[in-house]
Structure 1
Amino acid sequence: MTEGRIVKALAGFYYVMDQDQIFQCRGRGNFRKRKVNPLVGDWVEYESSNKTDGYIMDVKERKNELVRPPIANVDQAILVFSAVQPDFSPLLLDRFLVHIEANDILPVICVSKMDLVEETSEYEKIQMYIEKYRDLGYEVIPTSTKTDDSLEMFYPLFKDKLTVFAGQSGVGKSSLLNAINPELMLETNEISSHLGRGKHTTRHVELILFGNGLVADTPGFSSLDFLNIEAEDLSKFFPEMNERRGDCKFRGCSHTSEPKCAIRAGVESGEIPDFRYEHYVSFLQEIKDQKRRY
């Protein structure tokens, strides 16, 4: 048996990449009984006498799994958020970051359309957010509407990683992917001025070779509710809070009202940005409300 990675799943066939060759495979007959559902990104063991008649014999353990796009073993997510059209949203960005951190995926923040910010005050505000996220240890890449320039900055990031793009609708994810692989011809999510949101397009997922790594050719991310995150774990997914959790006086501190809370002390000293703490409290309440409903 040989090992490879699924780079495309379509019409019951799995396309397995082994070094620089692709083998068309079917799943073993007992997969359905065992409720094994191979995903794009899975490492698998397969047998094949030629390039079109292979069988996947086993699926290796996954380090993570996303729902939308349906993909496994993601190393990195490039989160694309625009400076304007639509306006930059740190609240939505933090929601994405929590999910990325919870899935053990490395986030890279891309702030697109920086060249379209017209007011100096607005530019300075976005620049302030960029610096805050960098201070927290996140890689942040500001880009312009000239996608070719942006690609030069991204190219080294893809090496030896499986990367997905995610973020707000209509921010330029599809434009970046089209620039990576012009054959994709993805619809570029024109913004509806009425709704201020991009139009969604659905397609099968395929991994494409780029920059000595693999990139998912469809923008998206799993649903952004917090159903799989427990209230007591939420602060783990804010790195600046996670490193202080052990210093709180009480075990199981919710970091909202308990005395001698190291995280609230970090907010007061300015080491934890106010807006990040406010988002944490908002998400915490959402998780508690969800648990009551379910």
Structure 2
Amino acid sequence: MPEGKIIKALSGFYYVESQGEIYQCRARGNFRKRKLTPLVGDIVQFEAENKTDGYILGLKDRFNELIRPPIANVEQAILVFSAMEPKFSTLLLNRFLVHIESNQIEPIICVSKIDLLKPEHREEINEFIADYVKLGYTVLKTSIYMEELIEEVRPWLNGKTSVFAGQSGVGKSSLLNSLKPELQLETNEISSHLGRGKHTTRHVELIPIGTGLVADTPGFSSLEFTEIEAEHLSDCFPEMRERAHLCKFRGCTHSSEPKCAVRADVEAGEIAAYRYEDYLSFLDEIKQQKRRY
């Protein structure tokens, strides 16, 4: 039975690439009974009499999956956050990073629209970038008007399946258009009334760029922590993960326990206060969710 990878899902159809050919398939009814939904990125077994009339019969095991955007078997995430329009949001970036870390996906932070930075904001953005670099994250600056910065992104995409994600309006589609102009993905300007971008991507699709595959995904501005347990949240913060063994109590949540190494380093300025405050906010959100359930 042939195998292939789902490269696009749209209106109930799955487009499966196998040996350089693309087959339009539907999923067999037994997937619904087993509460399974094929995702872009899945390796599947399928049958097809021709290129427009195929059926997916089986799914190979996934090594990870995301719910929003719905995609499987992702190796790295390019988290696109604009320096301006909309304004750079560490709270939203930290929320994205938690979800990416919890799925064992390698994050790359991409600060877009760097050309829009006014002098009075440049120092603040550079300080944020320095904080994330210190934590071990790769941070790239980009502008669709600066070819040399676009070229710095390309090597990171080669040989991997990557997902482009971030708040709507940050320029994900514009960046992809710059990397591969023939895509001609739809883009929209920021709404001056709402202060945020319109959703321009309606479905998830894997696009070949260089020797890698890149997913352009629907923009979104919030993520719930339904899949993350309170006791595991700190594992998604590198600065807490590496200090956990120094805390007095095993399983320390770094919120109120005595002799907590993380809180001590926050007070000493070794851990960014805004990262710790976001952690406490996420921890409370997870606890509140569990109570509702």
- Same fold by TM-score, threshold 0.5 exceeded? yes
- Structure-2 residue corresponding to 1:13: 13
Q: Which residue of 1 aligns with 2:101?
A: 101
The separation in 1 between residues aligned to 2:286 and 2:12, in whole angstroms, is 37
Gaps of 5+ in 1: none
The offset of 1:151, in angstroms, is 2.6
1:185 Cα deviation after fit: 3.2
In structure 1, what is the equivalent of residue 238 of structure 2?
Answer: 239
Contact kept in structure 2, 1:6 and 1:41, CA below 8 Å: yes
Name the structure 2 match of 1:251.
Answer: 250
Deviation at 1:214, TM superposition (A): 0.8
Counting aligned pairs with the same residue, the percent is 67
Corresponding residue of 1:74: 74
Q: Does 1:91 align with 2:91?
A: yes
Q: CA RMSD in A?
A: 2.2
**Within 2, Cα distance between the matches of 1:36 and 1:188?**
32
Q: Secondary structure at the match of 1:32?
A: helix
Task: Indicate the residue corresponding to 2:111 in structure 1.
Answer: 111
Distance 1:114 1:280, change over 3 A: same
Q: Contact between 2:150 and 2:179, CA under 8 Å: does it hold in 1?
A: yes
- List alignment gaps of at least 5 residues for structure 2: none
> What per-residue deviation string (whole Å, max 9, x for no partner) do you get for residues 63-115 of structure 1?
22223332111221111111122221111111111111112211111111222
Contact 1:69-1:222 at 8 Å conserved across structures: no
**2:23 aligned with 1:31, yes or no?**
no
Displacement of 1:33: 2.5
1:249/1:259 contact within 8 Å kept: yes
Contact 1:8-1:206 within 8 A present in 2 as well: yes
**CA–CA distance in 1 between the matches of 2:168 and 2:221?**
14
CA spacing shift, 1:287–1:12, aligned 2, 3 Å: closer
Aligned to 1:133: 132
Letter in 2 for 1:226: F
SS in 1 for 2:131: helix
Letter in 1 for 2:13: F
Distance across 1 between alignment mates of 2:41 and 2:256? 43
Q: What is the correspondence of 1:102-251 to structure 2 with a 5 Å cutoff? A: 102-119=102-119, 121-146=120-145, 148-220=147-219, 223-251=222-250
Deviation at 1:118, TM superposition (A): 1.7
Q: Which amino acid aligns with 1:193?
A: S
Aligned-partner Cα distance in 2 for 1:205–1:196? 25
- 3-state SS in 2 of match to 1:191: coil
SS at match of 2:40: coil
CA 1:218–1:181 in 2, change beyond 3 Å: closer, same or farther?
Answer: farther
In structure 1, how many angstroms separate the alpha carbons of the residues matched to 2:199 and 2:14?
Answer: 25
Mark the CA change 1:259 to 1:222 in structure 2 (over 3 Å): closer, same or farther.
same
Normalising by structure 1, we get a TM-score of 0.90
Q: State the alpha-carbon separation in 2 of the partners of residues 92 and 217 from structure 1.
A: 19
How many residue pairs get matched?
A: 293
One-letter code aligned to 1:150? L
Distance 1:136 1:231 in 2: 22
Offset at 1:227? 2.2
Shift of the alpha carbon at 1:169? 2.2
Spell out structure 1 runs of 4+ moving beyond 4 A. none
The Cα shift of 1:286 comes to 2.0
1:195 Cα deviation after fit: 1.6
